[in-house]
Structure 1
Amino acid sequence: MSVQLSAEGDVVLLEGNCPVEDAEPLAALLLGHPDASVDWSACTRLHTAVVQVMLRLRPPLRGSCGDPFAARWLDPRGNT
């Protein structure tokens, strides 16, 4: 799986290709850990379902995403 919670429980890590199957686990982690941020610096591609979860829940982001589409719509810094 390309979605996991850090050992400290305060960061959700997105790594590699995040397919549609990652949308539900991502939502569960973010809802279960509302203060967690998302580190997407190791992410290369986000399925649109994963993008939708992030648009809805708006977690704080760490790093820069390797998926230009996701970065365009989710990164408040405007990094693409």
Structure 2
Amino acid sequence: MPIRYLKKHAALEGRIAAEDAEGLQQWLRAQAKPAVALDKCEQVHAAVLQVLLALRPALQGRPTDPWLAAALGLR
């Protein structure tokens, strides 16, 4: 399962496909303080990246892909 929805955050793991973008968007909008854990994330589809950039949840950890980390403003 590429996204695990937990009590305090959504954990993105491995490669996250375009099909996951809508579910992530809905979950983030439903949270009072949305957060996403990226430490096990290898790659995301552009649609998922757009959701993260548009909704700006709190980000935990760093993805393994340096380009993705830079795109999310994680230096």
Fold agreement, TM-score > 0.5 = yes
Instruction: Give the structure 2 partner of residue 55 of structure 1.
Output: 53
Share of identical aligned residues, percent? Answer: 36
SS at match of 1:66: coil
Structure of greater relative contact order (alpha carbons < 8 Å, 6+ residues apart): 2
1:4 partner letter: R
User: TM-score, normalising length from structure 1?
Assistant: 0.85
CA contact (8 A) 1:3 1:25 kept: no
Deviations along 1:14-44, whole A, 9 cap, x unmatched? 0000011111111011011130210010100
Between the two proteins, the alignment pairs up a number of residues equal to: 75
SS at match of 1:30: helix
CA contact (8 A) 1:46 1:67 kept: no
Instruction: Give the structure 2 partner of residue 3 of structure 1.
Output: 3
User: TM-score, normalising length from structure 2?
Assistant: 0.90
Instruction: Give the structure 2 partner of residue 46 of structure 1.
Output: 44
Q: Compute the RMSD of aligned alpha carbons.
A: 1.2
Give distance in 1, aligned partners of 2:28 and 2:18: 16
Give distance in 2, aligned partners of 1:29 and 1:4: 11
Q: Structure 1 unaligned segments of length 5 or more: list them.
A: none
Q: Structure 2 unaligned segments of length 5 or more: list them.
A: none
